[in-house]
Structure 1
Amino acid sequence: MPIHKIVATKRGKAAIAAVLIAVASSWGAYAPSPPSAAPVAIHHVAVSPSVTIRAAIDKGYVPPAVKLAVEYLIMPWEGLRTTAYLDRLPKHPVWTVCYGETLNVKKGMKFTPVECEAKLIQRIIFDYYLPLVDRVPGYSDAPISLQASMISGAYNYGVQRQIDSTTADRVGQHRYHDACLAQTAFNKAGGVRLDGLVNRRENGDAHRMGEAELCVSGLS
């Protein structure tokens, strides 16, 4: 359970609204529609949400949950470093660049801010978002604020841990508020609770939104 009370905020709602407006004329034409509650008489072959989502991505569209996670959670919390540096916080130090990127990063690498953002979006789509779509039941039907918070969490502490998490279980049960709160448990590094991780998981700080804050802001 979270340490602090988690409530919806104006900045959380504003971020969600901004992203939905930005993608309304693009992603909306390809994204899967939520299942209808009423039976239909016409027999048809059901199309997996994963198929329609991938079709949109193949056309160059960025999923709204990815855009929300990248712009309002991951980029602010990770910070930008355009020259590769040795991150000594992990047990085994790793070369890191851009917004916390560690894949195939070597000493001396340099990127522009535009290149860093492009790398981040592609990495998030294929290594974090799509695995959650494929392996967390009900994920693509959940509110985008919850999807985004899970993407941000997965990027920070690992996509497999997210897939195996209580948060993922609650999503499958459509217990969305409980799912938002469950993710706040990931607030430790090396077994020690860190204030920075508590802020990231919960209500953020003066300049950055917290994952749970954004998550619950999209539930009502």
Structure 2
Amino acid sequence: MSARARKALASGAIIGLVAMTATYLTEPWEGTVNKAYWDRLGSVWTICTGETLSVKPGMVKTDAECKEMLLERLENDFHQPLTRCIRGFDKAPLGWQGAMLDEAYNIGVGAACSSTAAKRARAGDFKGSCHAMTWFNRAGGKVILGLKKRREFGDANRMGELELCLEGLR
């Protein structure tokens, strides 16, 4: 059992799904950069916590603006669409919801909704869904260590999606 996943789930019961996901998964893995930068891998301007929507060169945001932006995007552009594409999303185990929400933020809501993880969740197989989320560990056709850690059990400083997902099923 994971102490850090139990802590996240306990806080999630108080602060809610979106804030829990932002705090324990998205922010630690994405990092926050307050000045717009060119992301070579994505070939796009990026700011704050991996934000690419309407980002222009020279933009600067405060930490508070970055947090607000992340919470709004997680809720409006990822959580709400997930509730439409996965029936009963909000009634699913909180750890699974957080893992799926973070994954959707990282891979896109379309990919998340059409994934095997979503299909398994629709069938009520949350444990199988948790494991299917780990398959999104590649970029450019190659397994990327950072994505592998994010999808699985994390590292010494950051919790992984599978870690939270499975803890929520116990």
Equivalent residue number for residue 16 of structure 1: 9
The alpha carbon displacement at 1:145 in A equals: 0.8
Determine if the alignment matches structure 1 residue 99 to structure 2 residue 49. Answer: yes
Runs of 4 or more consecutive aligned structure 1 residues displaced over 3 Å after TM superposition = none
Greater C-alpha radius of gyration: 1
State the secondary structure of the residue aligned to 1:103.
coil
CA distance, structure 1, for counterparts of residue 18 and residue 123 of structure 2: 22
Alignment of 1:187-206 (within 5 A): 187-206=137-156
Alpha-carbon distance between aligned partners in 1 of 2:56 and 2:163, rounded to the nearest angstrom: 35
Q: CA deviation at 1:19?
A: 2.2
SS at match of 2:47: strand
Shift of 1:109: 0.2
Structure 1 unaligned spans of 5+: 1-7, 24-63
**Which of residues 115, 134, 139 in structure 1 aligns to 2:65?**
115
Is contact 1:68-1:145 (8 Å) kept?
no
Distance 2:117 2:92 in 1: 12
Q: Which amino acid aligns with 1:143?
A: P
Which structure dedicates a bigger proportion of its chain to helix?
A: 2
Contact 1:138–1:171 under 8 Å retained in 2: no
In the other structure, the counterpart of 2:129 is 179
Do residues 83 (structure 1) and 35 (structure 2) align? yes
Q: Is 1:133 the equivalent of 2:126?
A: no
- RMSD after superposition: 0.9
- How do 1:150-169 residues align onto structure 2 when only pairs under 5 Å count? 150-169=100-119
Superposition deviation, residue 138 in structure 1: 2.4
Q: Deviations over 1:100-144 (max 9, x none)?
A: 000000000000000000001001101000000011122121111
Deviations 1:148-179 (A, max 9, x none): 10111011111100000111111111111111
Offset at 1:89?
1.1
What is the CA–CA distance in structure 2 between the aligned matches of 1:102 and 1:208, rounded to whole Å? 23
Deviations 1:177-212, CA, capped at 9 Å, x for gaps: 111111000000011111110000000000000000
Overall identity of the aligned pairs, in %: 44
Runs of at least 5 residues in structure 2 that lack an aligned partner in the other structure: none
Aligned residues: 170
2:94 is aligned to: 144
